[in-house]
């Protein structure tokens, strides 16, 4: 069952189309990643889904309802974490959660939520004295306190340190296990790759790819790259003579071989035959990062200004 359906969504600011004819649908219980460079229309799209903006064209259905007209009924079922929205300076973590909990008919256990988000020792700390990461986690907690069916998280882990980021990811994964649908706006590939069931890649207001993270990676050339330091000098031409190899580069003593197919086996067996030891051998595979750059890079050839 689709809980969110977006059809031909268009939103203009003056002459500029922030979102230009975007369509997609999100299934119940799915973690749906929205990925794209700044100005690609990600935030405008999710804010339209949250009922904060009125589209110029197209339709949006959330749980079968119109996010603008049925906003009052949707507010209790959609939890939203916004970019650039703060709280009063002097409100404490526990007070903010209790206040927001009072808005909902069946709120989550605020104590448990505070613990889940690692804010247990900050429950009586004023908002202005929290670190950026702590503010971010409180903001996520406020989006979840109403036990929503859908959570929209815009820039989930911006400002979090790696440890806090991983803890937050665990929390999102546990939400999926409870059947919550999550719309996740991010510009972190690792986050999208790890959490999302499907990823929508946005560029210049359009949807340029929509697939599973693995599916998106396979849309670009499945290149692999080997880096190693040969124990004895080796001619470039020997390596580039292999049919699997596309490119050979050097960076000081390190040789970088780029190729496709079974390039790893071809290169290592050549080195073995020549009795060359490949020191510090590393194999890099294309990941969502490469795919993203390739997809948005293709686009930016025409519209460079979008990739600021």
Partner 1 sequence: MNEMRSLIVTEARLLFRDPVTWLAAIALPTVVLLIFGSIFGPSEPDPALGGLRFIDVFVPSLVVITVGTLGIQTLPIRLATYREKGVLRRLSTTPAHPLRLLAAQLVIYLATAVIALLLLIVVAHVAFGVPWPGHPLGYLAAFLLGMSSLFAIGLVVAAVAPSSRAATAVAIPMFFVVMFLGGVYLPRVYLPDILIRIGDFTPPGVQGLQDAWLGTAPQLAPLAGMAILTVVLGAVAVRIFRWE
Q: Which residues bind partner 1 (CB under 8 A)?
A: 50-52, 72, 75-76, 78, 80, 82, 84-88, 90-91, 95, 98-100, 102-104, 142, 146
Hey, how many other C-beta atoms are within 10 angstroms of the C-beta on 169?
17
Report the nearest approach of partner 1 to the CB of residue 288 (Å).
29
Whichever of 37 and 146 has its CB closer to partner 1, that residue is 146
Rounded to the nearest whole angstrom, what is the least distance from the CB of residue 44 to partner 1 in the complex? 14
Q: Which is nearer to partner 1, 46 or 271 (CB)?
A: 46
Q: Cα(178)–Cα(159) distance, rounded to whole angstroms? A: 26
If the CB atoms of residues 50 and 182 are measured against partner 1, the closer one turns out to be 50
Got the DSSP string for 154-211?
ESTTTT--HHHHHHHHHHHHHHHHTT-EEEEEES-HHHHHHH-SEEEEEETTEEEEEE
* Pick 88 or 243: Cβ nearer partner 1: 88
Distance CA 16, CA 19 (A): 9
**How many CA atoms within 13 Å lie on the side-chain side of 138?**
31
Rounded Cα distance, 190 and 171, in Å: 16
Of 90 and 111, nearer to partner 1 (C-beta) is 90
- Residue 96's H or E segment, with its range, is helix 93-101
Shortest distance in whole angstroms from residue 186 CB to partner 1: 19
Alpha-carbon distances of 280 from 105, 185, 284, rounded to whole Å: 58, 37, 13
CB of residue 107 to partner 1, shortest distance in Å:
10
In the complex, the smallest distance separating the C-beta of residue 250 from partner 1, rounded to whole angstroms, is 51
Strand partners, 201: 35, 209
């Amino acid at each position: 069952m689709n809980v969110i359906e977006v059809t031909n969504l268009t939103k203009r600011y003056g002459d500029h189309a922030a979102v230009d004819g975007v369509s997609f649908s999100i299934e119940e219980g799915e973690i749906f990643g929205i990925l794209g460079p700044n100005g690609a229309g990600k935030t405008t799209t999710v804010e339209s889904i949250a009922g904060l903006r009125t589209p110029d064209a197209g339709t949006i259905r959330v749980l079968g309802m119109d996010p603008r007209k049925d906003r009052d009924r949707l507010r209790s079922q959609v939890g939203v974490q916004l970019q650039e929205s703060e709280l009063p300076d002097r409100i404490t973590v526990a007070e903010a959660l209790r206040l927001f909990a009072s808005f909902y008919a069946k709120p989550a256990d605020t104590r448990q939520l505070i613990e889940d988000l690692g804010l247990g020792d900050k429950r009586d700390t004023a908002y202005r004295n929290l670190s950026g990461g702590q503010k971010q986690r409180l903001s996520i907690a406020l989006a979840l306190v109403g036990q929503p069916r859908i959570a929209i998280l815009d820039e989930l882990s911006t400002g979090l340190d790696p440890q806090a980021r991983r803890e937050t990811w665990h929390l999102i994964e546990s939400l999926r296990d409870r059947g919550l649908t999550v719309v996740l706006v991010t510009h972190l590939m690792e986050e999208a790759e790890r959490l999302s069931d499907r990823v929508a890649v946005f560029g210049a207001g359009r949807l340029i790819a929509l697939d599973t993270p693995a599916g998106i990676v396979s849309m670009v050339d499945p290149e692999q790259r080997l880096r190693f330091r040969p124990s004895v000098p080796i001619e470039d031409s020997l390596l580039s003579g292999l049919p699997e190899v596309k490119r050979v580069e050097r960076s000081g003593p390190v040789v970088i071989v780029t190729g496709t197919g079974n390039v790893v086996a071809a290169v290592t067996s050549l080195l073995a035959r020549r009795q060359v030891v490949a020191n510090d051998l590393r194999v890099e595979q294309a990941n969502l990062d490469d795919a993203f750059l390739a997809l948005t890079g293709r686009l930016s050839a025409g519209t460079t200004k979008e990739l600021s």
